[in-house]
Structure 1
Amino acid sequence: MSAVAASSPFALFSGKPLRLLAAGVLLVNGLFPAIWILFTSLKTEAELTLRPITWAPQSPTLANYALAFSDQPLLLFLFNSFMVALLSTVLTLLVSVLAAYALARLDLAYRGVILSLIIAVSTFPLVTLLVPLFEIMRALNLLNTWVALILPYTVLSLPVCTLILVSFFEGIPQDLENAAMIDGCTRLGALFKVVVPICAPGVFTAGILAFVNAWDEFLLALSFNSNPSLRTLPVGIQLYQGEFAFPWPVISAALVVGIVPVAVLIVIFQERVVSGLTAGSIKG
Protein backbone atom coordinates (compact mmCIF):
# COMPACT_ATOMS: atom_id res chain seq x y z
CA MET A 1 0.00 0.00 0.00
CA SER A 2 2.84 2.38 0.88
CA ALA A 3 4.60 1.63 -2.43
CA VAL A 4 1.42 2.49 -4.32
CA ALA A 5 1.01 5.67 -2.33
CA ALA A 6 4.61 6.64 -2.98
CA SER A 7 4.21 6.11 -6.71
CA SER A 8 1.01 8.11 -6.84
CA PRO A 9 1.21 11.31 -8.94
CA PHE A 10 -0.08 13.23 -5.92
CA ALA A 11 3.06 12.27 -3.98
CA LEU A 12 4.88 15.11 -5.72
CA PHE A 13 2.47 17.58 -4.14
CA SER A 14 2.83 16.34 -0.58
CA GLY A 15 5.53 16.57 2.03
CA LYS A 16 8.74 18.48 1.37
CA PRO A 17 8.14 19.34 -2.34
CA LEU A 18 4.83 20.97 -1.49
CA ARG A 19 6.37 22.91 1.39
CA LEU A 20 9.21 24.12 -0.83
CA LEU A 21 6.73 25.15 -3.53
CA ALA A 22 4.59 27.03 -1.02
CA ALA A 23 7.66 28.73 0.43
CA GLY A 24 8.80 29.74 -3.06
CA VAL A 25 5.38 31.21 -3.92
CA LEU A 26 5.26 33.17 -0.67
CA LEU A 27 8.83 34.38 -1.16
CA VAL A 28 8.15 35.64 -4.68
CA ASN A 29 4.79 37.14 -3.70
CA GLY A 30 6.28 38.91 -0.71
CA LEU A 31 9.67 39.99 -2.00
CA PHE A 32 9.06 40.82 -5.67
CA PRO A 33 6.78 43.85 -5.09
CA ALA A 34 9.15 45.22 -2.45
CA ILE A 35 12.21 44.75 -4.68
CA TRP A 36 10.39 46.31 -7.64
CA ILE A 37 9.44 49.35 -5.55
CA LEU A 38 13.04 49.65 -4.33
CA PHE A 39 14.42 49.48 -7.89
CA THR A 40 11.85 52.04 -9.08
CA SER A 41 12.84 54.43 -6.29
CA LEU A 42 16.44 54.35 -7.58
CA LYS A 43 15.53 55.10 -11.22
CA THR A 44 15.08 58.39 -13.02
CA GLU A 45 11.85 59.31 -14.78
CA ALA A 46 13.59 58.84 -18.15
CA GLU A 47 14.80 55.34 -17.29
CA LEU A 48 11.36 54.37 -16.05
CA THR A 49 9.86 55.00 -19.50
CA LEU A 50 12.46 52.99 -21.43
CA ARG A 51 11.31 50.15 -23.65
CA PRO A 52 12.05 47.35 -23.15
CA ILE A 53 11.74 47.65 -19.40
CA THR A 54 14.96 47.66 -17.39
CA TRP A 55 14.58 45.65 -14.22
CA ALA A 56 17.53 46.91 -12.20
CA PRO A 57 18.39 50.64 -12.28
CA GLN A 58 21.17 51.38 -14.77
CA SER A 59 22.29 54.56 -12.99
CA PRO A 60 21.02 54.37 -9.41
CA THR A 61 20.18 57.72 -7.82
CA LEU A 62 19.06 58.82 -4.36
CA ALA A 63 17.58 62.06 -5.68
CA ASN A 64 14.06 60.62 -5.44
CA TYR A 65 14.46 60.19 -1.68
CA ALA A 66 15.49 63.82 -1.32
CA LEU A 67 12.44 64.86 -3.34
CA ALA A 68 10.20 62.61 -1.23
CA PHE A 69 11.18 64.56 1.88
CA SER A 70 11.19 68.01 0.22
CA ASP A 71 8.02 67.80 -1.88
CA GLN A 72 5.82 66.74 1.05
CA PRO A 73 6.25 66.71 4.86
CA LEU A 74 7.12 63.01 4.88
CA LEU A 75 8.54 63.10 8.41
CA LEU A 76 5.25 64.52 9.68
CA PHE A 77 3.33 61.74 7.91
CA LEU A 78 5.62 59.15 9.50
CA PHE A 79 5.20 60.66 12.95
CA ASN A 80 1.40 60.76 12.68
CA SER A 81 1.24 57.17 11.44
CA PHE A 82 3.60 55.95 14.16
CA MET A 83 1.70 57.63 16.99
CA VAL A 84 -1.71 56.52 15.75
CA ALA A 85 -0.52 52.95 15.18
CA LEU A 86 1.32 52.80 18.52
CA LEU A 87 -1.56 54.18 20.61
CA SER A 88 -4.16 52.00 18.88
CA THR A 89 -1.93 48.96 19.37
CA VAL A 90 -1.55 49.63 23.10
CA LEU A 91 -5.29 50.10 23.49
CA THR A 92 -6.01 47.01 21.39
CA LEU A 93 -3.70 44.83 23.48
CA LEU A 94 -5.15 46.11 26.75
CA VAL A 95 -8.75 45.40 25.73
CA SER A 96 -8.03 42.15 23.89
CA VAL A 97 -6.02 40.73 26.82
CA LEU A 98 -8.93 41.37 29.18
CA ALA A 99 -11.51 40.04 26.70
CA ALA A 100 -9.48 36.95 25.85
CA TYR A 101 -8.85 36.17 29.52
CA ALA A 102 -12.56 36.44 30.29
CA LEU A 103 -13.43 34.10 27.42
CA ALA A 104 -10.69 31.62 28.35
CA ARG A 105 -11.14 31.54 32.14
CA LEU A 106 -14.56 32.74 33.23
CA ASP A 107 -17.63 30.54 33.07
CA LEU A 108 -19.49 32.73 30.60
CA ALA A 109 -22.92 31.87 29.28
CA TYR A 110 -23.09 31.56 25.48
CA ARG A 111 -19.30 31.56 25.20
CA GLY A 112 -19.49 29.78 21.83
CA VAL A 113 -21.95 32.36 20.53
CA ILE A 114 -19.65 35.19 21.62
CA LEU A 115 -16.67 33.63 19.84
CA SER A 116 -18.78 33.09 16.72
CA LEU A 117 -19.87 36.72 16.77
CA ILE A 118 -16.25 37.86 17.14
CA ILE A 119 -15.33 35.81 14.07
CA ALA A 120 -18.35 37.13 12.15
CA VAL A 121 -17.53 40.76 12.99
CA SER A 122 -13.96 40.33 11.76
CA THR A 123 -15.27 39.43 8.29
CA PHE A 124 -17.16 42.69 7.71
CA PRO A 125 -15.70 44.70 4.79
CA LEU A 126 -14.32 48.01 5.99
CA VAL A 127 -16.27 49.97 3.39
CA THR A 128 -19.58 48.85 4.95
CA LEU A 129 -18.50 50.37 8.27
CA LEU A 130 -17.29 53.67 6.84
CA VAL A 131 -20.54 55.65 7.00
CA PRO A 132 -21.64 54.48 10.49
CA LEU A 133 -18.17 55.14 11.91
CA PHE A 134 -18.06 58.55 10.26
CA GLU A 135 -21.43 59.50 11.77
CA ILE A 136 -20.30 58.33 15.20
CA MET A 137 -17.07 60.31 15.04
CA ARG A 138 -18.92 63.40 13.82
CA ALA A 139 -21.49 63.10 16.62
CA LEU A 140 -18.67 62.81 19.16
CA ASN A 141 -16.87 65.79 17.57
CA LEU A 142 -13.76 63.67 17.02
CA LEU A 143 -13.17 64.24 13.31
CA ASN A 144 -9.72 65.64 12.45
CA THR A 145 -8.14 64.16 15.57
CA TRP A 146 -5.95 61.15 16.26
CA VAL A 147 -8.72 59.70 18.40
CA ALA A 148 -10.96 59.43 15.32
CA LEU A 149 -8.47 56.90 13.94
CA ILE A 150 -7.26 55.26 17.15
CA LEU A 151 -10.70 54.11 18.27
CA PRO A 152 -11.79 52.54 14.94
CA TYR A 153 -8.39 50.90 14.46
CA THR A 154 -8.71 49.40 17.94
CA VAL A 155 -12.18 48.08 17.20
CA LEU A 156 -11.10 46.62 13.85
CA SER A 157 -8.08 44.83 15.33
CA LEU A 158 -9.82 43.52 18.45
CA PRO A 159 -11.47 40.40 16.94
CA VAL A 160 -8.28 38.91 15.50
CA CYS A 161 -6.15 39.84 18.51
CA THR A 162 -8.73 38.44 20.93
CA LEU A 163 -8.97 35.13 19.08
CA ILE A 164 -5.17 34.80 19.04
CA LEU A 165 -4.90 35.44 22.76
CA VAL A 166 -7.79 33.14 23.68
CA SER A 167 -5.93 30.18 22.18
CA PHE A 168 -2.84 31.06 24.23
CA PHE A 169 -4.63 31.65 27.52
CA GLU A 170 -6.46 28.33 27.23
CA GLY A 171 -3.08 26.57 27.09
CA ILE A 172 -1.86 28.05 30.40
CA PRO A 173 -2.53 25.86 33.48
CA GLN A 174 -4.95 27.62 35.79
CA ASP A 175 -2.95 26.38 38.80
CA LEU A 176 -0.35 29.07 38.06
CA GLU A 177 -2.91 31.81 38.55
CA ASN A 178 -4.34 30.13 41.63
CA ALA A 179 -0.86 29.99 43.17
CA ALA A 180 -0.32 33.68 42.43
CA MET A 181 -3.66 34.60 44.00
CA ILE A 182 -2.84 32.51 47.08
CA ASP A 183 0.36 34.58 47.38
CA GLY A 184 -1.72 37.76 47.45
CA CYS A 185 -2.28 38.70 43.80
CA THR A 186 -5.68 39.77 42.61
CA ARG A 187 -7.08 38.12 39.50
CA LEU A 188 -5.91 41.06 37.40
CA GLY A 189 -2.53 40.91 39.08
CA ALA A 190 -2.23 37.22 38.25
CA LEU A 191 -3.22 37.98 34.68
CA PHE A 192 -0.60 40.67 34.07
CA LYS A 193 2.17 39.24 36.27
CA VAL A 194 1.85 35.55 35.40
CA VAL A 195 -0.32 34.82 32.36
CA VAL A 196 0.71 37.68 30.06
CA PRO A 197 4.50 37.13 30.48
CA ILE A 198 4.08 33.41 29.75
CA CYS A 199 2.02 34.24 26.67
CA ALA A 200 4.51 36.88 25.44
CA PRO A 201 4.78 35.35 21.92
CA GLY A 202 1.02 35.59 21.49
CA VAL A 203 0.93 39.14 22.83
CA PHE A 204 3.74 40.19 20.48
CA THR A 205 1.96 38.54 17.55
CA ALA A 206 -1.30 40.33 18.30
CA GLY A 207 0.55 43.61 18.78
CA ILE A 208 2.42 43.36 15.48
CA LEU A 209 -0.79 42.56 13.60
CA ALA A 210 -2.60 45.50 15.21
CA PHE A 211 0.31 47.87 14.49
CA VAL A 212 0.63 46.84 10.83
CA ASN A 213 -3.13 47.12 10.28
CA ALA A 214 -3.15 50.65 11.68
CA TRP A 215 0.03 51.64 9.83
CA ASP A 216 -1.31 50.53 6.43
CA GLU A 217 -4.93 51.71 6.73
CA PHE A 218 -5.98 54.28 4.13
CA LEU A 219 -9.78 54.56 3.81
CA LEU A 220 -10.60 55.74 7.33
CA ALA A 221 -7.52 57.98 7.49
CA LEU A 222 -8.65 59.70 4.29
CA SER A 223 -12.30 60.03 5.32
CA PHE A 224 -11.95 61.08 8.97
CA ASN A 225 -9.13 63.59 8.64
CA SER A 226 -8.89 66.66 6.45
CA ASN A 227 -6.32 68.46 8.62
CA PRO A 228 -2.99 68.58 6.71
CA SER A 229 -0.98 68.47 9.95
CA LEU A 230 -2.60 65.17 10.99
CA ARG A 231 -2.32 63.22 7.75
CA THR A 232 -0.96 59.70 8.08
CA LEU A 233 1.53 58.11 5.70
CA PRO A 234 -0.88 56.26 3.34
CA VAL A 235 -2.89 59.45 2.82
CA GLY A 236 0.22 61.60 2.49
CA ILE A 237 1.77 59.42 -0.21
CA GLN A 238 -1.14 60.06 -2.57
CA LEU A 239 -0.33 63.78 -2.45
CA TYR A 240 2.84 63.23 -4.48
CA GLN A 241 0.85 62.68 -7.65
CA GLY A 242 -0.21 65.71 -9.62
CA GLU A 243 -3.28 66.30 -11.74
CA PHE A 244 -1.58 64.97 -14.87
CA ALA A 245 1.70 63.58 -13.54
CA PHE A 246 2.55 60.48 -11.57
CA PRO A 247 6.15 60.71 -10.33
CA TRP A 248 6.50 56.99 -9.67
CA PRO A 249 10.18 57.13 -8.63
CA VAL A 250 9.41 59.70 -5.93
CA ILE A 251 6.26 57.83 -4.84
CA SER A 252 8.29 54.63 -4.68
CA ALA A 253 10.91 56.34 -2.55
CA ALA A 254 8.22 57.46 -0.12
CA LEU A 255 6.83 53.92 -0.07
CA VAL A 256 10.26 52.49 0.75
CA VAL A 257 10.60 54.94 3.62
CA GLY A 258 7.18 53.84 4.85
CA ILE A 259 8.03 50.14 4.59
CA VAL A 260 11.28 50.40 6.54
CA PRO A 261 9.80 50.96 10.06
CA VAL A 262 7.44 47.98 9.76
CA ALA A 263 10.18 45.80 8.29
CA VAL A 264 12.55 46.71 11.12
CA LEU A 265 9.83 45.99 13.67
CA ILE A 266 9.13 42.56 12.20
CA VAL A 267 12.84 41.71 11.98
CA ILE A 268 13.39 42.66 15.63
CA PHE A 269 10.47 40.57 16.86
CA GLN A 270 10.64 37.89 14.15
CA GLU A 271 11.23 34.95 16.47
CA ARG A 272 8.46 35.92 18.85
CA VAL A 273 5.98 36.50 16.02
CA VAL A 274 6.77 33.19 14.31
CA SER A 275 6.59 31.26 17.58
CA GLY A 276 3.36 33.05 18.42
CA LEU A 277 1.72 32.20 15.10
CA THR A 278 2.80 28.56 15.16
CA ALA A 279 1.94 28.02 18.83
CA GLY A 280 -1.42 29.72 18.38
CA SER A 281 -2.25 27.53 15.39
CA ILE A 282 -1.34 24.36 17.28
CA LYS A 283 -3.32 25.30 20.38
CA GLY A 284 -6.27 26.60 18.38
Structure 2
Amino acid sequence: MNGGLPRRLLLPLCVILVLLWSLLPILWQVTTSFKPNSELLSLPPLMPASPTFEHYRVLFDEQPFHHVLVNSTVVAFATTLAALGIGSLAAFPLARLPIRGKGTFLGIVLGASMFPAIVTVGPLFVIIRELGLRDTWWALVISHTSFSLPLTIWILTNFMRELPEDLYRASRIDGCTPWQSFYHVFLPLCRPGLAAAAILVFLFSWTEFLFALTFTATEASRTVPVAIALFPGLHEIRWGEMAAASVIVTIPVFLIVGAFHKHIVRGLTVGAVKG
Protein backbone atom coordinates (compact mmCIF):
# COMPACT_ATOMS: atom_id res chain seq x y z
CA MET A 1 0.00 0.00 0.00
CA ASN A 2 1.84 3.03 -1.27
CA GLY A 3 1.61 5.97 1.13
CA GLY A 4 -0.73 4.09 3.47
CA LEU A 5 -0.61 1.73 6.38
CA PRO A 6 1.37 -1.48 5.86
CA ARG A 7 -0.82 -4.46 5.12
CA ARG A 8 0.28 -6.23 8.30
CA LEU A 9 -1.15 -3.38 10.39
CA LEU A 10 -4.50 -3.23 8.62
CA LEU A 11 -6.01 -6.39 10.16
CA PRO A 12 -5.00 -5.57 13.77
CA LEU A 13 -6.37 -2.05 13.31
CA CYS A 14 -9.69 -3.41 12.04
CA VAL A 15 -9.88 -5.85 14.97
CA ILE A 16 -9.23 -3.04 17.46
CA LEU A 17 -11.94 -0.88 15.88
CA VAL A 18 -14.46 -3.74 16.01
CA LEU A 19 -13.58 -4.45 19.65
CA LEU A 20 -13.99 -0.79 20.57
CA TRP A 21 -17.32 -0.63 18.74
CA SER A 22 -18.53 -3.75 20.62
CA LEU A 23 -17.13 -2.98 24.08
CA LEU A 24 -17.85 0.75 24.39
CA PRO A 25 -21.59 0.27 25.16
CA ILE A 26 -20.68 -2.27 27.85
CA LEU A 27 -18.06 0.02 29.36
CA TRP A 28 -20.58 2.87 29.29
CA GLN A 29 -23.10 0.76 31.22
CA VAL A 30 -20.47 -0.21 33.79
CA THR A 31 -19.41 3.39 34.42
CA THR A 32 -23.04 4.54 34.53
CA SER A 33 -23.89 1.92 37.15
CA PHE A 34 -21.31 3.45 39.52
CA LYS A 35 -22.26 7.10 38.96
CA PRO A 36 -24.35 8.94 41.57
CA ASN A 37 -27.63 10.41 40.34
CA SER A 38 -26.13 13.92 40.19
CA GLU A 39 -23.62 12.78 37.53
CA LEU A 40 -25.82 10.54 35.38
CA LEU A 41 -26.84 13.19 32.84
CA SER A 42 -23.67 15.28 32.85
CA LEU A 43 -20.56 15.03 30.67
CA PRO A 44 -17.81 15.42 31.72
CA PRO A 45 -16.87 13.52 33.79
CA LEU A 46 -16.83 10.36 31.70
CA MET A 47 -15.73 8.29 34.69
CA PRO A 48 -17.63 8.66 37.99
CA ALA A 49 -15.99 11.29 40.19
CA SER A 50 -17.56 9.71 43.30
CA PRO A 51 -18.20 6.00 42.59
CA THR A 52 -21.15 4.55 44.46
CA PHE A 53 -22.90 1.20 44.87
CA GLU A 54 -26.22 2.91 45.54
CA HIS A 55 -27.85 1.67 42.33
CA TYR A 56 -26.92 -1.93 43.14
CA ARG A 57 -28.29 -1.52 46.66
CA VAL A 58 -31.59 -0.16 45.33
CA LEU A 59 -31.92 -3.14 42.99
CA PHE A 60 -31.89 -5.66 45.81
CA ASP A 61 -33.34 -3.62 48.68
CA GLU A 62 -36.13 -1.70 46.94
CA GLN A 63 -36.76 -3.81 43.84
CA PRO A 64 -37.68 -7.53 43.50
CA PHE A 65 -34.56 -8.02 41.39
CA HIS A 66 -33.36 -11.08 43.29
CA HIS A 67 -36.70 -12.74 42.48
CA VAL A 68 -36.44 -12.11 38.73
CA LEU A 69 -32.86 -13.41 38.82
CA VAL A 70 -34.18 -16.65 40.32
CA ASN A 71 -36.88 -16.77 37.62
CA SER A 72 -34.34 -16.33 34.82
CA THR A 73 -32.03 -18.97 36.30
CA VAL A 74 -34.76 -21.58 36.76
CA VAL A 75 -36.25 -20.98 33.31
CA ALA A 76 -32.85 -21.08 31.58
CA PHE A 77 -31.74 -24.30 33.30
CA ALA A 78 -35.11 -26.01 32.76
CA THR A 79 -35.13 -24.99 29.10
CA THR A 80 -31.60 -26.31 28.64
CA LEU A 81 -32.43 -29.68 30.20
CA ALA A 82 -35.65 -30.04 28.18
CA ALA A 83 -33.98 -29.08 24.89
CA LEU A 84 -31.05 -31.46 25.46
CA GLY A 85 -33.33 -34.33 26.50
CA ILE A 86 -35.71 -34.04 23.56
CA GLY A 87 -33.03 -32.96 21.09
CA SER A 88 -30.67 -35.86 21.83
CA LEU A 89 -33.51 -38.39 21.55
CA ALA A 90 -34.40 -36.95 18.15
CA ALA A 91 -30.80 -36.60 16.95
CA PHE A 92 -29.74 -40.23 17.51
CA PRO A 93 -32.23 -41.87 15.13
CA LEU A 94 -31.68 -39.11 12.59
CA ALA A 95 -27.94 -39.72 12.70
CA ARG A 96 -27.74 -43.51 12.98
CA LEU A 97 -31.00 -45.39 12.43
CA PRO A 98 -32.25 -46.36 8.94
CA ILE A 99 -35.26 -44.06 8.78
CA ARG A 100 -36.84 -42.84 5.57
CA GLY A 101 -37.10 -39.12 5.00
CA LYS A 102 -34.37 -38.10 7.46
CA GLY A 103 -33.08 -35.45 5.09
CA THR A 104 -36.57 -34.03 4.63
CA PHE A 105 -37.14 -33.95 8.38
CA LEU A 106 -33.85 -32.15 8.98
CA GLY A 107 -34.77 -29.68 6.27
CA ILE A 108 -38.06 -29.01 8.06
CA VAL A 109 -36.19 -28.58 11.34
CA LEU A 110 -33.80 -26.11 9.73
CA GLY A 111 -36.71 -24.27 8.13
CA ALA A 112 -38.51 -24.04 11.47
CA SER A 113 -35.45 -22.39 13.02
CA MET A 114 -35.65 -19.63 10.42
CA PHE A 115 -39.11 -18.47 11.51
CA PRO A 116 -38.91 -15.21 13.47
CA ALA A 117 -40.23 -15.39 17.02
CA ILE A 118 -42.92 -12.79 16.30
CA VAL A 119 -44.59 -15.26 13.90
CA THR A 120 -45.02 -17.94 16.57
CA VAL A 121 -45.81 -15.78 19.58
CA GLY A 122 -49.53 -15.51 18.71
CA PRO A 123 -50.29 -19.25 18.43
CA LEU A 124 -48.13 -19.99 21.46
CA PHE A 125 -49.98 -17.37 23.49
CA VAL A 126 -53.35 -18.99 22.65
CA ILE A 127 -52.06 -22.46 23.58
CA ILE A 128 -50.51 -21.28 26.84
CA ARG A 129 -53.63 -19.33 27.81
CA GLU A 130 -55.90 -22.31 27.12
CA LEU A 131 -53.65 -24.55 29.21
CA GLY A 132 -53.80 -22.06 32.09
CA LEU A 133 -50.03 -21.61 32.10
CA ARG A 134 -49.77 -17.86 31.55
CA ASP A 135 -47.57 -16.06 34.07
CA THR A 136 -45.83 -19.29 35.11
CA TRP A 137 -42.35 -20.69 34.63
CA TRP A 138 -43.81 -23.45 32.47
CA ALA A 139 -45.04 -20.94 29.89
CA LEU A 140 -41.50 -19.72 29.32
CA VAL A 141 -39.90 -23.17 29.48
CA ILE A 142 -42.29 -24.52 26.82
CA SER A 143 -41.91 -21.53 24.50
CA HIS A 144 -38.12 -21.32 24.89
CA THR A 145 -37.74 -25.07 24.36
CA SER A 146 -39.88 -25.03 21.22
CA PHE A 147 -37.78 -22.23 19.77
CA SER A 148 -34.39 -23.72 20.70
CA LEU A 149 -35.12 -27.34 19.73
CA PRO A 150 -34.31 -26.97 15.99
CA LEU A 151 -30.80 -25.69 16.72
CA THR A 152 -30.26 -28.40 19.36
CA ILE A 153 -31.38 -31.20 17.02
CA TRP A 154 -29.23 -29.85 14.19
CA ILE A 155 -26.08 -29.59 16.33
CA LEU A 156 -26.46 -33.02 17.95
CA THR A 157 -27.39 -34.79 14.71
CA ASN A 158 -24.28 -33.48 12.95
CA PHE A 159 -22.15 -34.29 15.99
CA MET A 160 -23.38 -37.90 16.14
CA ARG A 161 -22.81 -38.31 12.42
CA GLU A 162 -19.14 -37.51 12.95
CA LEU A 163 -18.72 -40.48 15.29
CA PRO A 164 -17.47 -43.71 13.60
CA GLU A 165 -20.27 -45.84 12.14
CA ASP A 166 -18.62 -48.98 13.52
CA LEU A 167 -19.52 -47.89 17.05
CA TYR A 168 -23.21 -48.53 16.46
CA ARG A 169 -22.61 -51.79 14.63
CA ALA A 170 -20.27 -53.07 17.35
CA SER A 171 -22.76 -52.19 20.09
CA ARG A 172 -25.54 -54.03 18.26
CA ILE A 173 -23.34 -57.09 17.78
CA ASP A 174 -22.61 -57.04 21.51
CA GLY A 175 -26.34 -57.29 22.16
CA CYS A 176 -27.29 -53.67 22.80
CA THR A 177 -30.71 -52.42 21.84
CA PRO A 178 -30.88 -49.09 19.97
CA TRP A 179 -31.74 -47.39 23.27
CA GLN A 180 -28.76 -48.99 25.02
CA SER A 181 -26.48 -47.99 22.15
CA PHE A 182 -27.71 -44.42 22.48
CA TYR A 183 -27.49 -44.24 26.27
CA HIS A 184 -24.30 -46.19 26.95
CA VAL A 185 -22.24 -45.53 23.80
CA PHE A 186 -23.25 -42.40 21.93
CA LEU A 187 -24.38 -40.13 24.76
CA PRO A 188 -21.06 -40.26 26.67
CA LEU A 189 -19.12 -39.61 23.45
CA CYS A 190 -21.35 -36.64 22.62
CA ARG A 191 -20.49 -34.62 25.72
CA PRO A 192 -18.71 -31.87 23.72
CA GLY A 193 -21.72 -31.55 21.43
CA LEU A 194 -24.10 -31.58 24.38
CA ALA A 195 -22.01 -28.87 26.06
CA ALA A 196 -22.10 -26.70 22.94
CA ALA A 197 -25.86 -27.08 22.55
CA ALA A 198 -26.43 -26.50 26.27
CA ILE A 199 -24.45 -23.25 26.27
CA LEU A 200 -26.27 -21.86 23.23
CA VAL A 201 -29.70 -22.81 24.58
CA PHE A 202 -28.93 -21.38 28.02
CA LEU A 203 -27.73 -18.07 26.56
CA PHE A 204 -30.83 -17.84 24.36
CA SER A 205 -33.18 -18.46 27.26
CA TRP A 206 -31.25 -16.12 29.58
CA THR A 207 -31.52 -13.17 27.18
CA GLU A 208 -34.88 -13.88 25.48
CA PHE A 209 -37.31 -10.95 25.66
CA LEU A 210 -40.37 -11.31 23.40
CA PHE A 211 -41.83 -14.52 24.87
CA ALA A 212 -40.99 -13.41 28.41
CA LEU A 213 -42.78 -10.10 27.86
CA THR A 214 -45.84 -11.74 26.29
CA PHE A 215 -46.33 -14.72 28.60
CA THR A 216 -45.63 -13.08 31.99
CA ALA A 217 -47.63 -10.48 33.88
CA THR A 218 -46.15 -10.25 37.39
CA GLU A 219 -42.88 -10.78 39.25
CA ALA A 220 -44.00 -14.36 39.90
CA SER A 221 -42.48 -15.45 36.58
CA ARG A 222 -40.99 -12.28 35.04
CA THR A 223 -37.40 -12.65 33.87
CA VAL A 224 -34.53 -10.18 33.96
CA PRO A 225 -34.74 -8.73 30.40
CA VAL A 226 -38.41 -7.82 30.94
CA ALA A 227 -37.76 -6.44 34.41
CA ILE A 228 -35.07 -4.13 33.04
CA ALA A 229 -37.37 -2.94 30.26
CA LEU A 230 -40.04 -2.07 32.84
CA PHE A 231 -37.70 -0.02 35.07
CA PRO A 232 -38.64 3.39 33.57
CA GLY A 233 -41.25 5.03 35.79
CA LEU A 234 -44.07 7.42 34.95
CA HIS A 235 -42.04 10.62 35.48
CA GLU A 236 -38.42 9.44 35.35
CA ILE A 237 -36.10 6.92 33.77
CA ARG A 238 -33.94 5.16 36.33
CA TRP A 239 -30.75 5.05 34.30
CA GLY A 240 -28.54 4.02 37.22
CA GLU A 241 -30.64 1.01 38.22
CA MET A 242 -31.03 -0.05 34.59
CA ALA A 243 -27.27 0.10 34.07
CA ALA A 244 -26.58 -1.84 37.27
CA ALA A 245 -29.11 -4.53 36.33
CA SER A 246 -27.60 -4.79 32.84
CA VAL A 247 -24.14 -5.30 34.33
CA ILE A 248 -25.36 -8.03 36.68
CA VAL A 249 -27.16 -9.86 33.88
CA THR A 250 -24.17 -9.65 31.54
CA ILE A 251 -21.70 -11.18 34.00
CA PRO A 252 -22.95 -14.80 33.61
CA VAL A 253 -22.90 -14.42 29.82
CA PHE A 254 -19.28 -13.24 29.86
CA LEU A 255 -18.26 -16.05 32.21
CA ILE A 256 -19.97 -18.77 30.16
CA VAL A 257 -18.69 -17.53 26.80
CA GLY A 258 -15.18 -16.99 28.16
CA ALA A 259 -15.00 -20.44 29.73
CA PHE A 260 -16.66 -22.43 26.96
CA HIS A 261 -16.06 -20.46 23.75
CA LYS A 262 -14.29 -23.44 22.15
CA HIS A 263 -17.40 -25.58 22.64
CA ILE A 264 -19.56 -22.84 21.16
CA VAL A 265 -17.38 -22.55 18.05
CA ARG A 266 -17.26 -26.33 17.65
CA GLY A 267 -21.01 -26.59 18.02
CA LEU A 268 -21.61 -23.97 15.34
CA THR A 269 -19.07 -25.44 12.89
CA VAL A 270 -19.59 -29.19 13.46
CA GLY A 271 -20.16 -30.99 10.20
CA ALA A 272 -19.05 -27.99 8.16
CA VAL A 273 -15.78 -29.62 7.04
CA LYS A 274 -15.54 -33.16 5.73
CA GLY A 275 -12.44 -35.26 5.21
Deviation string, structure 1 residues 167-221 (Cα, Å, up to 9, x no partner): 2111101211232333343322222332222222221111111111111111211
Deviation string, structure 1 residues 86-120 (Cα, Å, up to 9, x no partner): 00110001111122222211233232222222121
TM-aligned CA distance change 1:165 to 1:22, over 3 Å? farther
Q: Residue 112 of structure 2 corresponds to which residue in structure 1?
A: 121
Q: How far apart in 2 are the matches of 1:283 and 1:54?
A: 54
TM-score in terms of structure 2 length: 0.88
TM-score in terms of structure 1 length: 0.86
TM alignment of 1:100-249, pairs within 5 A = 100-249=91-240
> Does residue 92 of structure 1 match 2:83?
yes
AA matched with 1:38: V
Q: Residue 3 of structure 1 corresponds to which residue in structure 2?
A: none
AA matched with 2:63: Q
Unmatched 5+ stretches in structure 1: 1-5
Cα shift at 1:243 = 0.9
Q: Residue 259 of structure 1 corresponds to which residue in structure 2?
A: 250
> Does residue 269 of structure 1 match 2:260?
yes
TM-aligned CA distance change 1:120 to 1:26, over 3 Å? farther
Deviation string, structure 1 residues 31-81 (Cα, Å, up to 9, x no partner): 332222111111122222113x54332322111111111221111101111
Q: Which of 96-105 and 263-272 deviates more?
A: 263-272
Q: State the number of aligned residues.
A: 273
- Alignment check: 8 A CA contact 1:45 1:247 kept: no
TM-aligned CA distance change 1:17 to 1:59, over 3 Å? same
Q: How far apart in 2 are the matches of 1:198 and 1:88?
A: 22
- Alignment check: 8 A CA contact 1:171 1:283 kept: no
> Does residue 43 of structure 1 match 2:38?
no
Q: How far apart in 2 are the matches of 1:206 and 1:200?
A: 10
AA matched with 2:79: S
- Alignment check: 8 A CA contact 2:159 2:190 kept: yes
- Alignment check: 8 A CA contact 1:72 1:240 kept: no
Q: How far apart in 1 are the matches of 2:10 and 2:191?
A: 31
Q: How far apart in 2 are the matches of 1:114 and 1:67?
A: 50
Q: RMSD value over aligned CA atoms? A: 2.7
Q: How far apart in 1 are the matches of 2:150 and 2:107?
A: 10
Secondary structure of residue in 1 paired with 2:230:
helix
TM-aligned CA distance change 1:237 to 1:159, over 3 Å? same
Q: How far apart in 2 are the matches of 1:213 and 1:258?
A: 13
AA matched with 2:49: Q
- Alignment check: 8 A CA contact 2:155 2:197 kept: yes
Q: Residue 33 of structure 1 corresponds to which residue in structure 2?
A: 25
